[in-house]
Amino acid sequence: MQPTISQIGSYVGKEVRFGAWLFNRRSSGKIQFLQLRDGTGFIQGVVAKNDVDPQVWENARNLTQESSLYVTGTVREEERAPSGYELLVTGIEPIQIAEKYPISLKEHGTEFLMDHRHLWIRSPRQRAILSIRSQIIQAVHEFFYQNGFKKVDPPILTPTSAEGTTTLFHTKYFDEDAYLSQSGQLYMEAAAMALGRVYSFGPTFRAEKSKTRRHLIEFWMIEPEMAFVDHEENLKIQEEFVSYVVQDVLKHCRRELNFLTRDTAKLENVKPPFPRITYDEAIQLLKEKGHEIEWGEDFGAPDETAIAESFDKPVFITHYPTEIKAFYMKPDPNRPEVVLCADLIAPEGYGEIIGGSQRIDEPELMLKRFEEHGLSKKDYQWYLDLRKYGTVPHSGFGLGLERTVAWITGTEHVRETIPFPRLLNRLYP
């Protein structure tokens, strides 16, 4: 295989040839400095007029931004270069001289960049974010496989809702009505009864009319579900899981985090145990901070941020009012007006990254909830079956990938954490 820029360190003193794009070029008289990228990294190529064939010099001069080429040269160590290496160019074979590239190296407005997302992802910043996203995905799979979970894939086309009907994406399924999955959870509960400890990792669709920096219409969710696991153990697994992912990114993505000027000290600190407060305590805390909120109301983004500010790690908010949470959450036996659930709020204002709970396992209570929520027993017969044939205590949670990427990379808006974001007003490109 021909080398990539990320592997260039093992070719010091040797001549290499690889494919690249021209990111930028500077020249000072008899030397041209080519900033080359190949997707795996960046390296500076030095073309010295007196040392190369005149054709190579000309070829270098003709390269426009984002032109594609094969470059040949000798690798040498260069302390001042971000990559630690430099290429003494001996040959340039242009593949294509690019037309005038729309994204110049100056600042552009967000809408312009979003319209050019297919090109914007080539920029060093976007590349760093998407590389970290890939590392997070790898760490997620590693964590669950190492801990004996099986990967299960729930359907994306579903006949019913899992998280309430207000955010459902409707489509036709021949003559039937169908919806894009809002959560695989209900199916994962069935899978946990078959395989014990399972997780899913898939696209999730919510027709949310929210235009905030934390909301996407299409996002990716990781949903573990575990038989014989109660609320307490559910939280332990969550803090182990989130800490594993953060520490793994610190281990493998230093260069990207530094490039993004992420304060990594804040991430180093992410280790179990995580602080926990109850919903009641959170309401109290918010009132002390002057927020206008009453018991029974859900938290808005500013409330979550204010709570997070009181802690230097992700914080669990537990025991929300039964009224404002999903139908399947198990009430606290000592206090049925609250449920055995937790939201995990990321530090530094990145908001809720996990929602999870112990599930109702008693058939009678589940039937009662169906009545209260007006859910059709016929449509969800299969789900009710799980409470008839060997029901067991079980718990699970859902981690939003993009909010996690935003937090770990220190990216303000989730639109930059997914290759092609689907937003309230955006389906292009």
Here's the x/- map for ligand 4AD, 131-160, by CB under 6 A: it reads as ------------------------------
Among residues 45, 73, 396, 421, the one that binds ligand 4AD under rule CB under 6 A: 396
Q: What is the DSSP string of 153-212?
A: ---SEESS-SS-STTPEEEEETTEEEEE-S-SHHHHHHHHHHHSEEEEEEEEE------S
DSSP characters over 33-46 = EEEEE-SS-EEEEE
Assess 216 for contact with ligand 4AD (CB under 6 A). Answer: yes
Q: Is 317 in the site for ligand 4AD (CB under 6 A)?
A: no
- 90/358 with CB nearer ligand 4AD: 358
Residue from the set 131, 183, 409, 417 that interacts with ligand 4AD by CB under 6 A: 183
Q: Which of residues 217-276 bind ligand 4AD (CB under 6 A)?
A: 219, 221, 223
Q: In the complex, what is the shortest distance from the CB of residue 401 to ligand 4AD, in angstroms, rounded to a whole number?
A: 8
One of 51, 78, 115, 208 touching ligand 4AD (CB under 6 A)? 208
Counting contacts by CB under 6 A, is residue 366 touching ligand 4AD? no
Q: Which is nearer to Mg ion, 59 or 181 (CB)?
A: 181
Asked if residue 325 binds ligand 4AD (CB under 6 A), the reply is no
Q: Sheet harboring 176-180: ordered strands across?
A: 157-158, 176-180, 169-173
Question: How near is the Cβ of 193 to ligand 4AD at its closest, in Å?
Answer: 15
Stretch that binds Mg ion, among 39-47, 58-66, 67-75, 355-363 (CB under 5 A): 355-363
* Exposure class string for 58-85: b at 16+ Cβ within 10 A, else e: ebbeebebbbbbebbbbbeeeeeeebeb
Rule CB under 5 A: say whether 351 interacts with Mg ion: no
Contact pick of 63, 130, 136, 353 for ligand 4AD (by CB under 6 A): 353
Q: How far is 83 from 77, CA to CA, in rounded Å? A: 9
Residue 16 forms beta bridges with which residues? 73
**CB under 5 to 8 A by kind: which of Mg ion, ligand 4AD, none does 226 bind?**
none
- Reported for 348-352, long-range contacts at CB under 8 A and 24+ positions apart, including other chains, are 348/266, 348/308, 348/407, 348/410, 349/304, 349/305, 349/308, 349/309, 350/214, 350/308, 350/403, 350/406, 350/407, 351/214, 351/301, 351/304, 351/305, 351/308, 351/403, 352/214, 352/304, 352/400, 352/403
Q: Please tell me the distance from the alpha carbon of residue 82 to that of residue 409, in angstroms, as a whole number.
A: 19
Q: Taking contact as CB under 6 A, which single stretch among the options 20-28, 100-108, 348-356, 370-378 is the one that binds ligand 4AD?
A: 348-356
Place of tokens 């400095």: 33
Residue 335 CB, nearest approach to ligand 4AD (Å) = 21
Instruction: Calculate the alpha carbon distances from 160 to 182, 216, 382 in Å.
Output: 10, 21, 12
The partner in contact with residue 353, picked from Mg ion, ligand 4AD, none with C-beta cut-offs of 5 to 8 angstroms by kind, is ligand 4AD
Q: Which is nearer to Mg ion, 154 or 355 (CB)?
A: 355
99: which residues sit within 8 A by CB, 6+ positions away? 64
In the complex with Mg ion, the residue whose CB is nearer, 60 or 235, is 235
Q: Is 73 in the site for ligand 4AD (CB under 6 A)?
A: no
Kindly state whether residue 352 participates in binding ligand 4AD, applying the rule CB under 6 A. yes
119 phi, psi to nearest 5 deg:
-100, -35
The strand pairing partners of 171, in sequence order, are 178
Q: Which of Mg ion, ligand 4AD, none lies near 192, with the C-beta cut-off 5 to 8 A by kind? A: none
- If residue 265 lies in a helix (H) or strand (E), which one and from where to where? helix 264-268
Decide: is 355 part of the binding site for ligand 4AD (CB under 6 A).
Answer: yes
Omega before residue 429 within 30° of 0, cis: yes
Owner of token pair 């999870």: 356
Among 277, 402, 405, 415, binds ligand 4AD (CB under 6 A): 402
The answer to whether 361 contacts ligand 4AD (rule: CB under 6 A) is no
At 162, the amino acid letter reads A
Quote the tokens at residue 234: 């559910």
Identify which of residues 163 and 416 has a Cβ nearer to ligand 4AD in the complex: 163
**Residue 303 binds which entry of Mg ion, ligand 4AD, none, CB below 5-8 Å type-dependent:** none
Which residues make up the interface to ligand 4AD (CB under 6 A)?
A: 162-163, 183, 185, 206, 208, 215-216, 219, 221, 223, 352-356, 396-398, 400, 402-403, 414
Which residues make up the interface to Mg ion (CB under 5 A)?
A: 355
